[in-house]
Structure 1
Amino acid sequence: MKKLTWFFGTLCILFLSFCYSLGNAKIERETVSYPKDEILALSKKKWKWIIDRQIDSLQVLFDENIVSRQPEIRMDKAGHLDVIKNGNIRYKQISVLETDIQIIDNISTLLTKVEFNFPGRKRAEIKYVTEVFKKSGDDWKLILFQINPI
């Protein structure tokens, strides 16, 4: 009887140790940065930079050959930064409603459903935004930014 109790006690301790190590391994895996997480975080920062008009941060993010399209408007990098800097387009709040992300090699495509709130307007506008990022060295650069009405 003592051997049986000792055996089950040892088995329980081993099982608990195994479960503990599995739990710690899961936590370590969750802290690892994956490209999708990196791109989603970068896109989220981009929206904040646009609202706050942080041109220096956007200057680094935008590729030199970025194509920026909004309904009936096509801009290059300088044009897009100028529109943001001068407040020609001003957002009170931007809420991301849905995001679909696809990464192939060093290209990432985001299709995002976004709600734009403008100062002085009671109704928000919902639009789809397409963002294409390209891995350049260790950094991701935004090469396409397109806003489409729904």
Structure 2
Amino acid sequence: MKAFVLGLGFVLLGVQGTYAQQKGGSAAPAKTALVEQQIRKLSQDKWRWMAERKADTLAVLFDDKAMFVHMGGSWGKKQELDVIRSGSIHYKQADVEETSVQIIDNTAILLSKIRLLAVLGGNEVTNPFIVTEVYVREKGKWKLGSLSFTKLLTP
């Protein structure tokens, strides 16, 4: 009889532990989904600010150590803001076709397939890209740490 009661106790503890894991595990996906939504919104805002050439607004978003990789080279925050201010690259319109977000601790990696209409040297050009955006959360705020364009070979 003692063995039966002891065995029943272990079964109940196991069921309680399983329930606790399921209950605790459900909050994490909800939090992750909320963060993914925030990152997607921040990316959309960034594209709009770039199209509107809001360099001062972008300066707040871009981390001081941010890196930008383009077809014609790579550079840091100051150079990217100078490019936007001068209009030497005008990110006129980014049509985002699909996105995915991965969260790793305080880092968010957003991949977007876009068709970018830009003005370069006075000429309008449209190119398909996969864009990688890396965001890092510091003091509760997301900062852009890297923006890289990879041109797609297919239209």
Tell me which interval the TM-score lies in, with the shorter structure as reference length.
0.7 to 0.9
- Provide structure 1 residue ranges, at least 5 long, that are not aligned to the other structure: 1-29
* Correspondence for 1:85: 85
1:44/1:134 CA distance change after superposition, 3 Å: same
Aligned to 1:130: 132
Structure number having the greater strand percentage: 2
Q: Runs in 1 of length 4+ with deviation above 2 angstroms?
A: 118-121
TM-score of the superposition, structure 1-length normalised?
0.74
Taking the aligned partners of 1:88 and 1:77, their CA distance within structure 2 comes to 15
User: What letter matches 2:148 in structure 1?
Assistant: Q
Deviations, residues 76-133 of structure 1 (Å, cap 9, x unaligned):
1100000011001113321101101100110000111111123564x63111100000
Q: Distance between the aligned counterparts of 2:113 and 2:98, measured in 1?
A: 5
Measured after TM superposition, the shift of residue 52 of structure 1 is 0.3
Tell me the SS of whatever aligns to 1:53. Answer: coil
Give the match for residue 95 of structure 2: 95
Distance 1:91 1:83 in 2: 10
Match among 130, 142, 145 for residue 143 of structure 1: 145
For the structure 1 residues 72 and 91, does the alpha-carbon distance in structure 2 shift closer, same or farther, using more than 3 Å as the test? Answer: closer
C-alpha offsets along residues 30-66 of structure 1, whole Å, 9 cap, x if unaligned? 9xx8111111100000000000010111000000100
Question: In percent, how many aligned pairs have the same letter?
Answer: 35
In 1, Cα distance between the equivalents of 2:93 and 2:66? 24
